[in-house]
Chain A
Amino acid sequence: MGEKTTGMTRRDFLRMGSAAMAGGCMGLPFLGDAVAGTAEKSRVVLIRDEDVFGFLGSLDQDVLEKMLDQGVMRLMRADTPAQAWRQLVKPGDVVGIKSNVWGPLCTPPGLEEAIVGRLVTAGVDPKNIAVDDRGVRDDPVFQKATALINVRPMRTHHWSGLGTLLKNYIMFVPAPWKYHGNACERLGAIWKAPHLNGKTRLNILVMLTPLFHGIGPHHYSQKHTWPYRGLIISRDPVAADATGARIIQAKRNQYFEKEMPISPRPLHIETADTRYGLGNSHPDRIQLIRMGWKEDALI
């Protein structure tokens, strides 16, 4: 290593935000003194429905679609789903829906189908819509995409702390492992790449059965998921992720009956705000719009 070092240290974070450093991302309080990603408050819709799972635990497609429609309408201040989606995409857009296929906790196919349906309703040619995850770099629709919809479940993640909307774009780079350093703190850089920058129209963080703690090499345990029955919807991926992170953190503390910081600390949410200017991570700069079922909301 050379003499010059421009990187951050733990003490830099401490200077920015006092003792919150060691406490994980609970509210990301230290970012209050950092440079804001955007000047305006970010609108984030948290919509939950107690009935989204049916009698045997299967996902109720009608309820899920109602949650999607109500959430997007409220976010876009629209009276109908079509009106809301027409604000997000134009008929001439080529739209890639970036989902997540991770086996134990994937983007629900029913949600992907619902999004495709809304895009078609908004006038997008079905031929110009694709849903993909690990094949996005080879997908012809994604290769010429003018718009992206980002949708994935939230989970704790062994290396980045949290599997987030921000992290969901790692499949757009040829060597994802190059972004694994220091808890994946550089993930925000991917969003600034020329072929992605500014193309994301909507972010949906699936909080139906989030994973709040992982075990083993595969970092999964069904025991550590719970039916939160929610969707977090925002145009700001950082604000959506930061909101989801607060819920995960609260659940961990509740479950373990003590302060149980997300580990490793999901630095990439903070740096997406402070270093890459992709959005707002501090609750003070997030307008949280709560809809639907309120019980055990945790935040």
Chain B
Amino acid sequence: MIEAARADALRELQRDLPSKIMDWSAEGPDRIFDSNTLFEYIDGGAEVYRAYNLRQCLSRRYVTADGPAIILDVFDMGTSKDAFGVFTHDMNGAVVRLGQDARFQPGWLSFWKGRFFVSIYTEEETHESRNAVMALGNGVASLIKQRGSRPAILSKLPTRGLCSDTVRYLHHPVVLNYHYYLADKNLLGISNDTDVVLADYREDGEVARLLLIAYPDVKTAHEALERFLKYYLPDVDHNGFAPLENGKWAGYRTYKALAAVVLEADSRGFADQVLNRVFEKK
């Protein structure tokens, strides 16, 4: 994992960012935001980057006479796992070979590499602006020399039936609630000290949503699960399953400091299968 070894990592990258890309030229000075000032720049979405411990964000605007503007935002997340995490927040779009993972939706390219998450957005997609966005993305990715590791907890996810585009890495309850509203309170004790991954599984027409939480120690895991069961699954049976009010099933299992929770599955049997596979892997 790349830790925050250099506080000026973003400034170093900034020095080498291109001032021109095809027919587009950088306009005005770059703007730099931190976690406190990001709200001035991003209305609403700033909360996501704060939840992943944003260090700094650099914004540069490229303009051309006859086309839409292109906005480059480089987010220094401090660690590769947070860069990866914020990337997983929105993985819609087509897979692109760029950085360490990338997606392209009409008008928007996003990727992560090392400690950086990069967003390149064009106000209107044209053939030329799309090419410029991709060229700029390749250029920025090549400037980021150091690659990073994905969070270790991903290796705990069973591969069978995994819907890879639904994998979300997080360690803040607001991000969990964004993807799957669980509760007002942080019942599972998710924090910067926990590693969490959320993913969907699909097999033989059945769907399940799995949450894995790696707690810092067994005691913390035990306390969190106790609270979760008390307030969310008080009706759990002796095998760890409970029927939900919408006809689905929830269940949980733990091993040492790792908790696996099926938040929702089409059947009890499928919930059981998914949980079994988690611990077969340990």
Chain A interface residues (CB < 8 Å from chain B): 1, 3, 5, 7-11, 13-15, 18-19, 21-22, 102, 157-160, 163, 176-177, 180-183, 185, 215-219, 221-223, 263-265, 267
Contact = CB atoms under 8 A, between A and B. Distances in A.
Interface string B48-82: 11000000000000000000000101000000000
Contact of A223 (B73, B107, B183, B227): B107
Contacts of A14: 244-246
Nearest to B125: A223
B246 A22 contact: yes
Given A10-B182, A267-B181, A158 B48 contact: yes
B44, B245, B247: most-surrounded residue (chain A CB, <10 A): B44
B245 A11 contact: yes
Interface string B175-186: 001101111111
Contact of B119 (A13, A183, A216, A263): A216
Contacts of A11: 232, 244-245
A102 B43 CA distance: 8
B16 interface: no
Contacts of B247: 19
B13 interface: no
Given A14-B244, A159-B47, A223-B106, A216 B181 contact: no
Nearest to A222: B124
Contact of B185 (A7, A21, A180, A265): A7
B39 A18 contact: no
Contact of B181 (A158, A219, A223, A264): A264
Contacts of A183: 177-178, 181
A222 B123 contact: yes
Contacts of B180: 10
B73, B110, B174: most-surrounded residue (chain A CB, <10 A): B174
Contacts of A160: 44
Closest 7 CB pairs of A and B: A7-B184, A14-B245, A158-B45, A9-B183, A19-B246, A159-B44, A7-B185
Given A182-B177, A264-B178, A218 B232 contact: no
Contacts of A217: 42, 45, 49, 73, 119, 121
Contacts, number: 113
Contact of B121 (A8, A177, A216): A216
B255 interface: no
A7 B180 CA distance: 16
8 contacts: A11-B232, A158-B44, A158-B45, A158-B47, A159-B48, A216-B121, A217-B49, A223-B107
B107 A215 contact: yes
Interface in B102-128: 105-108, 110, 119, 121, 123-125
A13 B183 CA distance: 10
Interface string B197-222: 00000000000000000000000000
B246 A7 contact: no
Nearest to B42: A217
B246 A9 contact: no
Contact of A9 (B90, B119, B232): B232
A276 B182 CA distance: 21
Nearest to A167: B44
Nearest to A184: B44
Given A102-B43, A181-B174, 13 more contacts: A8-B183, A9-B232, A18-B245, A158-B48, A182-B177, A183-B181, A215-B106, A216-B119, A217-B49, A221-B106, A221-B107, A264-B177, A267-B181
Contact of B186 (A1, A15, A219): A1
Nearest to A8: B184
Contacts of A157: 44
A196 to B, nearest CB: 21
A180 B92 CA distance: 23
B29 to A, nearest CB: 19
A10, A21, A182: most-surrounded residue (chain B CB, <10 A): A10
B187 interface: yes
B185 A1 contact: yes
A5 B187 contact: yes
Contact of A219 (B44, B110, B182, B227): B44
B108 A21 contact: no
Given A1-B227, A19-B246, A182 B184 contact: yes
A15 to B, nearest CB: 5
B44 to A, nearest CB: 4
B181 A218 contact: no
Nearest to A21: B246
Contacts of B46: 177
